[in-house]
């Protein structure tokens, strides 16, 4: 298969993500939604935990709505096309606002470029003072690094969002590229865009200015060292109970969230949290971890531990969650309406859980889908997340002599064929490397796919 249609891509996205509350895909099936009316009364509308942004005094809801995985529907009469289901987005946004959510985070890059428009349509139906909108200068493509190119992206955000000021503006994903310092200069400094954004903040068209940080610690340290010049109002970081002390276990390029958080706290810069569930991995933990969490508190969901962890730290302004379905929104509202903070004992317990998880040899894929579509039809996130699931469940066979080998081999092969259609499996990866530059986790995707494929072939041969 040389190529896949957009419809197939979006379908796959939906299947891959729908299982994870709070972090599902950009595609949601309308019939899977609940209207929310049956349980609306169970979630209080006036109990959302709020945090204050020091620079503007904004009272921000602890749950922030990430607008990167919006529900989609088929385009009428166009078999291969999908579009954002605006009615569903409106319903989700209305419900979120009714329950105290007031922070909405989008980007020109989300949902194939349509998230800002959809967010603008949904929010425009509410009084402007009811919400804070965050967006980003997502000038990833080198063709947009010129001042004109970046200005066009910036101006388009106002048009798409239908606003005349932006509450939270971010330099998007700094530190994630191969040569991060050079890229930071190209995208924001040498073209004068950062100076321009500082002027826009003075003029009130940007109310808070910050950056989202991925990867290279030199960039994080450099931008904080320059804080006297830039006066960052907030910084967005990846933080969860596994990354707190084991970031290298989730990705060799990452830095422990504890360091990032403490550096911000020292400077009184509020932290906005992304990846509270680590791409869903903290909602789909191995069975022995589920058992530990349930033993500690049988009533709480596995995911709620991760949301409570992120919310417990007082310098956290808001915790972002991409929510496709009403049940995701309702689950997350329950964690923060109001927050029941973790005790010191709970945090120690979660660190112990994290120590156990850090030893698992998983691939740091967070199912973000940025590498898709692969021009050769490979379902990269599905293969990598399936592999991780098998590692977590003890279904990756090791030595043929092991007692467990036959059972694990069968479990791996059967579930692999069920989870990923044959034409989209790792064996069809030609190693072109096109996907790699899109991966914020810097996974050597073709190497991992070839490794998994070799393993699959060996398992098949050992059947006889
Ligand atoms: S290297 Fe990446 S883009 Fe190329 S075929 Fe393999 S998975 Fe697809
Ligand atoms: S391989 Fe990388 S880009 Fe692709 S889904 Fe995983 S983390 Fe995201």
Assign 3-class secondary structure to 211-225.
EEECCCHHHHHHHHH
Pocket test residue of 9, 380, 425, 444 for ligand 1, highest count of atoms within 8 A of CB? 380
Query: What is the CA(368)–ligand 2 centre distance, in A?
Result: 5
Q: How confident is the model at residue 459 (pLDDT cuts 50, 70, 90)?
A: confident
Query: By mean pLDDT, which of 87-101, 221-235, 392-406 is the weakest?
Result: 392-406
Identify the residue whose C-alpha is closest to ligand 1 atom 4: 432
Query: What is the CA(436)–ligand 2 centre distance, in A?
Result: 9
Report whether 111 contacts 118 (CB < 8 A). yes
Angstrom CA distances, 258 to 151, 267, 306, 347, 442, stand at 35, 14, 15, 13, 21
Identify the residue whose C-alpha is closest to ligand 2 atom 3: 439
For ligand 1, say whether the CB of 380 is within 6 Å of any of its atoms.
yes
3-state secondary structure of 387: helix
For ligand 1, say whether the CB of 431 is within 6 Å of any of its atoms.
yes
Query: By mean pLDDT, which of 23-37, 261-275, 347-361 is the weakest?
Result: 23-37
Query: What is the CA(32)–ligand 1 centre distance, in A?
Result: 32
C-beta neighbour count of 42 within 10 angstroms: 9
Return the higher-pLDDT residue of 87 and 369: 87
pLDDT on residue 179: 77
Phi, psi of 287 (to 5 degrees): -55, -40
Residue whose pair of structure tokens reads 């069968």 in the numeric block: 410
pLDDT on residue 214: 87
Q: Specify the ligand 1 atom closest to the Cα of 432.
A: 4
Query: By mean pLDDT, which of 93-97, 423-427, 457-461 is the weakest?
Result: 457-461
Q: Specify the ligand 1 atom closest to the Cα of 433.
A: 1
Report whether 126 contacts 88 (CB < 8 A). no
Residue 269 has pLDDT above 80, yes or no: yes
Burial 164-185 (b: 16+ CB within 10 A, else e): eebbbbbbbbbbbbeebeebbe
Q: What average pLDDT does range 337-366 have in this prediction?
A: 92
Over the chain, what is the mean pLDDT?
A: 88
| Alpha helices (H) along 115-192 | 115-124, 147-161, 180-184
Q: Specify the ligand 2 atom closest to the Cα of 385.
A: 6
pLDDT on residue 395: 81
H/E run at residue 82: strand 78-84
Closest CA to 123 of 114, 137, 115, 133: 133
pLDDT on residue 400: 61
For ligand 1, say whether the CB of 96 is within 6 Å of any of its atoms.
no
pLDDT on residue 463: 64
Q: What average pLDDT does range 444-463 have in this prediction?
A: 90
Residue 8 has pLDDT above 60, yes or no: no
Q: What average pLDDT does range 196-200 have in this prediction?
A: 98
Angstrom CA distances, 83 to 26, 78, 104, 404, stand at 10, 10, 20, 46
Query: What is the CA(381)–ligand 1 centre distance, in A?
Result: 12
- Cα–Cα distance measured from residue 97 to residue 75, given in angstroms and rounded to the nearest whole number: 28
Report whether 318 contacts 96 (CB < 8 A). no
Identify the residue whose C-alpha is closest to ligand 2 atom 1: 365
3-state secondary structure of 456: helix
Residue 58 has pLDDT above 80, yes or no: yes
- Cα–Cα distance measured from residue 320 to residue 334, given in angstroms and rounded to the nearest whole number: 15
Q: Specify the ligand 1 atom closest to the Cα of 428.
A: 5
pLDDT on residue 106: 98
Pocket test residue of 445, 446, 448, 451 for ligand 2, highest count of atoms within 8 A of CB? 445
Pocket test residue of 367, 442, 452 for ligand 2, highest count of atoms within 8 A of CB? 367
C-beta neighbour count of 447 within 10 angstroms: 13
Identify the residue whose C-alpha is closest to ligand 1 atom 8: 374
Identify the residue whose C-alpha is closest to ligand 1 atom 6: 429
Ligand nearest to the CA of 387: 2
Query: What is the CA(384)–ligand 2 centre distance, in A?
Result: 8
Residue 427 has pLDDT above 80, yes or no: yes
Cα angle 121, 368, 373; round to 5: 90
- Cα–Cα distance measured from residue 388 to residue 29, given in angstroms and rounded to the nearest whole number: 25
The beta strand positions in 123-274, using DSSP E, are 132-137, 166-174, 206-213, 234-238, 271-274
Percentage of the chain surpassing pLDDT 90? 70
Query: By mean pLDDT, which of 68-72, 329-333, 340-344, 389-393 is the weakest?
Result: 389-393
pLDDT on residue 235: 98
Residue 13 has pLDDT above 70, yes or no: no
Query: What is the CA(389)–ligand 2 centre distance, in A?
Result: 15
How many Å is the maximal CA-CA distance in the chain? Answer: 73
Query: What is the CA(81)–ligand 1 centre distance, in A?
Result: 23
- Cα–Cα distance measured from residue 235 to residue 361, given in angstroms and rounded to the nearest whole number: 30
- Cα–Cα distance measured from residue 265 to residue 61, given in angstroms and rounded to the nearest whole number: 19
Query: What is the CA(450)–ligand 1 centre distance, in A?
Result: 10
Pocket test residue of 373, 445, 448, 453 for ligand 1, highest count of atoms within 8 A of CB? 445
pLDDT on residue 155: 98
């Amino acid at each position: 298969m040389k190529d896949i249609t957009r419809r197939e891509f979006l379908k796959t996205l939906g299947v891959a993500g729908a299982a994870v509350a709070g972090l599902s895909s950009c595609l949601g099936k309308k019939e899977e939604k609940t209207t929310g009316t049956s349980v609306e009364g169970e979630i209080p509308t006036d109990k959302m935990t709020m945090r204050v942004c020091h620079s503007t005094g904004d009272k921000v809801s602890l749950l922030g709505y990430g607008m990167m995985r919006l529900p989609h529907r088929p385009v009428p009469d166009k078999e291969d096309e999908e579009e954002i289901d605006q009615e569903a987005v409106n319903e989700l946004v209305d419900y979120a606002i009714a329950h105290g959510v007031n922070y909405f985070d989008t980007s020109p890059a989300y949902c194939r470029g349509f998230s800002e428009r959809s967010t603008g349509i949904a929010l425009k139906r509410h009084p402007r003072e009811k919400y804070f909108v965050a967006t980003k200068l997502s000038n990833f493509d080198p063709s947009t690094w010129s001042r004109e190119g970046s200005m066009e992206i910036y101006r388009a955000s106002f048009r798409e969002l239908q606003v005349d000021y932006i509450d939270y503006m971010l330099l998007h994903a700094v530190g994630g590229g191969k040569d991060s310092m050079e890229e930071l200069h190209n995208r924001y400094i040498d073209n004068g865009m950062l100076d321009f954004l500082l002027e826009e903040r003075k003029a009130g068209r940007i109310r808070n200015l910050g950056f989202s940080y991925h990867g290279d610690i030199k960039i994080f340290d450099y931008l904080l060292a320059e804080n006297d010049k830039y006066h960052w109002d907030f910084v967005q970081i990846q933080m969860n109970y596994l990354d707190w002390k084991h970031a290298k276990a989730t990705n060799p390029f990452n830095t422990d969230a504890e360091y990032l958080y403490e550096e911000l706290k020292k400077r009184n810069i509020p932290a906005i949290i992304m990846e509270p569930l680590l791409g869903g991995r903290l909602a789909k933990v191995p069975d022995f971890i589920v058992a530990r969490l349930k033993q500690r508190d049988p009533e709480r969901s596995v995911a709620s531990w991760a949301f409570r962890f992120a919310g417990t730290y007082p310098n956290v302004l808001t915790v972002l969650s991409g929510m496709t379905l009403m049940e995701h929104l309702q689950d997350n509202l329950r964690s923060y309406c109001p927050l029941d903070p973790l005790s010191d004992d709970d945090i120690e317990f979660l660190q112990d859980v994290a120590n156990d998880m850090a030893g698992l040899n998983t691939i740091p894929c967070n199912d973000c889908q940025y590498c898709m579509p692969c021009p050769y039809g490979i379902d990269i996130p599905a293969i990598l997340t399936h592999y991780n699931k098998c590692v977590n469940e003890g279904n990756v066979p090791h030595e043929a002599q092991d007692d467990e080998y036959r059972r694990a081999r069968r479990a791996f092969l059967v579930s692999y064929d069920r989870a990923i259609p044959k034409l989209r499996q790792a064996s069809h990866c030609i190693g072109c490397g096109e996907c790699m530059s899109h991966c914020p986790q810097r996974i050597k995707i073709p190497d991992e796919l070839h490794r998994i494929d070799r393993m699959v072939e060996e398992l098949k041969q050992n059947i006889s």
